[in-house]
Amino acid sequence: MFTTVRASMMLSVALMATACMPKTSMRILEPASVDVPADIQIIGIVDRSSARNAGETVLGVLEGIVTGESVGADTQGRQAAMEAAVRILEESPRFEVVRVSDAQRGRTSLFDREMEHSDVARICRQAGCDALLSLEAFDSDTRMQVNGVTVNTLTNPEALKRRIADLDVSDVRATSDTTVMASWRMYDADQDRVVDELRDRERTWNWQGSGSLVDVRRAMPMAGAAVGRAGGGVGADYASRIAPSWQWVERRYYGGGSPELRSAKRYVKAGDWDGAMRIWEDQVNNPDPKVRGRASYNMALGSEVKGDFDGALEHARDAAVALHNGKSRRYVFTLEQRARDEARLARQMAPAPEEAAPPARQQRVHPSQRDSGRTVTTADSESTSGSTSSGAMTRPRR
């Protein structure tokens, strides 16, 4: 019992100490989860989730009547997914993006079936792209609960009373859970293959409210807005899967423990990392192990900001030895992962060798030449938080 209480107290103290540390934010370029072939530089994007012979016609209207969902909600969700994917791809220095028009798309097979390579080649030739990214399928489902009972609509108080015998329309607690599911494929324009495929990617958006039935109905988001939020999420998720993308991460540092560390904090808040690092560098040999460790930790952060990962790791390991705490050890692991990510990012951003690239692709300037910066910092904050996955697939078409 005493051991458990003591451990809990130590954890609370550690959490409080971390919360008191100032922090800074960095915008870093993270590698994609999928290694797209280097000769693919321009991506065309198309929405095939509403095929010409399917779409929101009779089936869509029937689904809306049965479930109480807005008939146009899926349309808003698809549009949000496409816009989010385009935004992330355009922000990435890896690719250029072109939107494929309906005229360029022409007639394709029923949604969620692989496109014929002849159609892919024709579309890419007309759009001037090296690969085609297609939203193959999109569907949404919204479930509402009132006072714990699942319902399809909040528009009819009498219908609700029949479902919920003791319903008090002046005291209603409601929740709405909107889930979207999307499937994506990326086709190579020159070779008859699927570069990447992700099926049944889910995103859920939740809402809850309470009060009178009138107030809850007024506050509850429209079905299209909820599906749009979730749809934007699946679009951004997939674009980050295939393209290096900018992410915000937080880093904490030591702003106290000695007059010098407090002085250096003012430089960080002003965005003067060189000035702060000059002070920390003088303190890495301080006879006090706590000050020495904190200065080394901060030097590791400054080196990371500068893009010097070897130097950052050296300082972080010195800090881990001097401070002997979990925070410093975790930062070593974080920097080791960042070093691996940077190596993978360099491979993903490297232009294709000219001799290996098809002639039609050799003449294009690789997008990596447009943006060489990979780490951007912003002003820090006193108040009180990103990762990547790996893997790739390229398969012949079925």
Give 53-88 pLDDT, tens digit per residue: 344 443 444 344 334 445 578 889 999 999 999 999
Whether 394 and 193 have beta carbons less than 8 Å apart is answered as: yes
Query: Edge-to-edge, what's the strand order for the sheet holding 375-377?
Result: 245-252, 23-30, 375-377
- Of the pLDDT bands very low, low, confident and very high (cuts 50, 70, 90), residue 213 is confident
Contact 376, 305 (CB under 8 A): no
DSSP 86-99: HHHHHHSSS-EEEE
Nearest alpha carbon to residue 197 among 235, 241, 229: 241
Between the alpha carbon of residue 162 and those of residues 93, 142, 166, 198, the distances in Å are 57, 21, 9, 43
CA distance 44 to 189: 10
Residues 6+ apart with CB under 8 A from 113: none
Count H helices and E strands in the chain, helices first: 14, 10
Contact 389, 35 (CB under 8 A): no
Percent of the chain beyond pLDDT 90? 54
Number of neighbours of residue 9 by Cβ within 10 angstroms:
10
Minimum mean pLDDT range among 199-203, 251-255, 386-390? 386-390
DSSP assignment of 211-240: E-HHHHHHHSPPHHHHHHHHHHHHHHHHHH
pLDDT in tens, 308-350: 999 999 999 999 999 999 999 999 999 999 999 999 999 999 9
Give yes or no for a contact between 227 and 73, defined as CB atoms under 8 angstroms apart: yes
**How would you classify the pairing of strands 23-30 and 245-252?**
antiparallel
Query: What is the C-alpha to C-alpha distance for residues 83 and 94, in angstroms, rounded to an integer?
Result: 18
Ramachandran angles phi, psi of 186, nearest 5°: -120, 120
Q: What is the pTM of this model?
A: 0.76
Contact between residue 21 and residue 253 where contact means Cβ atoms under 8 Å apart: yes
- As a whole number of angstroms, the distance between CA 167 and CA 210 comes to 13
Q: Which residue bears the tokens 């904050």?
A: 381
Q: Where are the domains of the chain?
A: 42-142+182-206+216-246, 254-358
Assess whether pLDDT exceeds 60 at residue 164.
Answer: yes
Gap between the Cα atoms of 290 and 206, Å rounded: 45
Fold of 254-358: 1.25.40
Per residue in 18-32, pLDDT (tens digit) is 557 999 999 999 999
* pLDDT score recorded for residue 70: 52
Listed in sequence order, the residues at least 6 apart from 252 whose beta carbon sits closer than 8 Å to its beta carbon are 18, 21, 22, 23, 327
* pLDDT for the residue numbered 353: 76
Question: What's the CA gap between 267 and 93, in Å, rounded?
Answer: 31
The dihedral through the CA atoms of 218, 222, 228, 234 has a sign that is positive
Give CA–CA dist 124/45, Å, rounded: 10
pLDDT at 125: 94
Per 3-state DSSP, the chain is made up of helix, strand and coil in percentages (nearest 5) of 45, 20, 30
pLDDT higher at 383 or 330: 330
What phi and psi, each to the nearest 5 degrees, are found at residue 333? -65, -40
Nearest to 32 by CA among 247, 282, 288, 218: 247
